A and B are shown apart, each in its own frame.
Chain A
Amino acid sequence: SQELEQSPQSLIVQEGKNLTINCTSSKTLYGLYWYKQKYGEGLIFLMMLQKGGEEKSHEKITAKLDEKKQQSSLHITASQPSHAGIYLCGADSNTGNQFYFGTGTSLTVIP
């Protein structure tokens, strides 16, 4: 099975600071997804990256995919308390029938 390792495991930042979360896959990536989960709630889809070098942005969140390194990074600019939550990367299996999630990064933003 595919393993997705995220780093850091947890992050505490002051409001207004920038931060980066990394996701590294043990196998070839066939599509990389970023989700956010708030405690006790479901997952919110943020972005999907399909091609090496692809970069997407949504409001103050930018994600990049480095297919060769089997890595993706999520960057938040000028963090706000509303960004707090657990960020999860996810990837399709090579068959497309299964989906794997990363270990998660817990983000706390201090006002």
Chain B
Amino acid sequence: NAGVMQNPRHLVRRRGQEARLRCSPMKGHSHVYWYRQLPEEGLKFMVYLQKENIIDESGMPKERFSAEFPKEGPSILRIQQVVRGDSAAYFCASSAGTGRNQPQHFGDGTRLSIL
């Protein structure tokens, strides 16, 4: 199955630690999106990347959060100095082309818990 792969599925961190979430897009997809789903809330767009470029990061918190999609390897969402409020499910999606009218295909998510 060449779907969107996210790992780890579950991640537990203590406050102040760093969290790294990985996403490998579907084969042939070069566009990656990250979303956050807080408990009892909907999915919120965070960032849109293409290979080696951040296209739109308007949904990313200004501090502690960063994302990259290197030429080789998976896309990484990095959260530094995690706080309790970062506990959420983080979903990655990929598409074959530019955002509009291109369906995004989602991974199963990474559930981040902050102790």
Count of chain A residues near B, Cβ 8 A = 26
Q: Mark B18-29, 1 if CB is under 8 A from A, else 0.
A: 000000000000
Q: Is the CB of A92 within 8 A of B101?
A: yes
- CB contacts (< 8 Å) of B107 on chain A: these are 42
Q: How far is the CA of A75 from the CA of B32 in the complex (A)?
A: 30
Q: How far is the CA of A33 from the CA of B106 in the complex (A)?
A: 13
Which of B55-63, B67-75, B77-85 sits within the interface? B55-63
Bin chain B's interface residue count: 20 to 34
- The residue on B at minimum CB distance from A48 is B103
Q: Is the CB of B106 within 8 A of A92?
A: no
Q: Is the CB of A92 within 8 A of B99?
A: yes
Q: Is the CB of A42 within 8 A of B91?
A: yes
Q: Is the CB of A98 within 8 A of B58?
A: yes
26 A-B pairs whose Cβ atoms sit less than 8 Å apart in the complex: A30-B100, A35-B106, A42-B109, A43-B43, A43-B106, A44-B106, A45-B103, A45-B106, A48-B101, A50-B101, A88-B42, A88-B43, A90-B104, A92-B100, A95-B99, A96-B101, A97-B99, A98-B45, A98-B56, A98-B58, A99-B33, A99-B45, A99-B99, A101-B43, A101-B44, A104-B42
Seen from chain A, the residues whose Cβ lies within 8 Å of a Cβ on chain B are 30-31, 33, 35, 40-45, 48, 50, 88, 90, 92-93, 95-104
Seen from chain B, the residues whose Cβ lies within 8 Å of a Cβ on chain A are 4, 6, 33, 35, 42-45, 48, 55-56, 58-59, 91, 93, 98-101, 103-109, 111
